[in-house]
Structure 1
Amino acid sequence: MATSKITYTGGLRTVSVHLKSGNEIITDAPTDNQGKGEAFSPTDLLATSLGNCMLTIVGIAAKSHGFKIDGATAEVTKVMAENPRRVAEIHVSFQFPANNYSEKEKAIIERAAKTCPVAYSLHPDIKKEIAFQY
């Protein structure tokens, strides 16, 4: 079964529908590439997917090891390069709620984050800077 259906609606905008749930994501071209920048760009989604995946895998690991990360956040910064235009770097800064995590729990968090499927799927030339704040 297909995962999504994407429709180009004009004006450098797409609407993606997740076929199982019906949820939608709108993308616009960024302002530095002829777009309006009124929604995530496709490269924004690429970078953001890394943070989403990392938090999800950390959540699974935390649940498996009997601790919580509820309220954790990740701020994502995408850095573009030219010739060819591409994502060159993704910076992810995690902030975990004050929970007095043990050294073992911090190791579980950091290992899980760095081994998420999106991290493994990105080209090795994309620099990933990951920071953890507890």
Structure 2
Amino acid sequence: MLKKIKVEFGEGKKLNATGDGFTAGTDLPVDKGGEGSAPSPLDLFITSLATCAAYYARNFCESKAITMNGIALNVEYVQNPETSHISKVNYLLTLPEGFPEKYKAALLRTIDLCTVKKHLINPPAFELELV
């Protein structure tokens, strides 16, 4: 199935991407020439990894009738200042006291199924063309 995202060039460094009924905006930080009014494309990428993992965590908990109260997920990453490439992504999952011990390892395995992360492990082909 072919899907499309249309990007519109906004003022300054702003970009707006639309597709499937959503709009996602990006901007660059002030020190990179933007206004800092929206996440940078790289921030949006990391956000995609984080929210994908959280999606899987929520689905797991819902399937086991476990409340999401007290569950938190944070993502830290290491970025090379010269290349801007990310060398490490660390998911920090906080579980509330009383979270069932028998589900902890299964929850981590489920989060590891994140579709966005799997695209990094098995990347798609990229093509550029002028139209």
Q: TM-score range by the shorter chain?
A: 0.7 to 0.9
Question: Does structure 1 residue 48 correspond to structure 2 residue 47?
Answer: yes
CA–CA distance in structure 2, aligned partners of residues 33 and 123 of structure 1: 29
> Match for residue 17 of structure 2?
16
Within 5 Å, give how 1:13-92 maps onto structure 2: 13-17=14-18, 19-21=19-21, 23-70=22-69, 72-92=71-91
SS of the equivalent of 2:79 reads: strand
CA–CA distance in structure 2, aligned partners of residues 16 and 70 of structure 1: 33
Q: Report deviation, 1:42.
A: 0.5
For structure 2, which runs of at least 5 residues remain unmatched after alignment? 123-131
User: What does the per-residue CA deviation read over 1:1-53, in whole Å, with 9 as the maximum and x for residues that have no partner?
Assistant: 52432211131110122x332x3221012334332222100000111111100
RMSD: 2.4
For structure 1, which runs of at least 5 residues remain unmatched after alignment? 125-134
Report the TM-score, using the length of structure 2 for normalisation: 0.74
CA–CA distance in structure 2, aligned partners of residues 39 and 108 of structure 1: 35
Preserved contact between residue 47 and residue 77 of structure 1 (Cα < 8 Å) = no
CA–CA distance in structure 2, aligned partners of residues 82 and 49 of structure 1: 21
> Match for residue 102 of structure 1?
100
CA–CA distance in structure 2, aligned partners of residues 37 and 122 of structure 1: 27
Q: What amino acid sits opposite 1:113 in the alignment? A: I
Q: What amino acid sits opposite 1:111 in the alignment? A: R
CA–CA distance in structure 2, aligned partners of residues 57 and 110 of structure 1: 10
Q: Report deviation, 1:99.
A: 5.5
Report the TM-score, using the length of structure 1 for normalisation: 0.73
SS of the equivalent of 1:94 reads: strand
Preserved contact between residue 44 and residue 78 of structure 1 (Cα < 8 Å) = no
Q: Report deviation, 1:58.
A: 1.4
Q: Which has the higher contact order (CA 8 A, sep 6+)?
A: 1
Preserved contact between residue 58 and residue 113 of structure 1 (Cα < 8 Å) = yes
User: What does the per-residue CA deviation read over 1:28-83, in whole Å, with 9 as the maximum and x for residues that have no partner?
Assistant: 12334332222100000111111100110111222223323256332233432145
Q: CA, structure 1 residues 116+104, in 2 after alignment: closer, same or farther (shift >3 Å)?
A: same
Post-superposition, which runs of at least 4 consecutive aligned residues in structure 1 deviate over 4 A? none
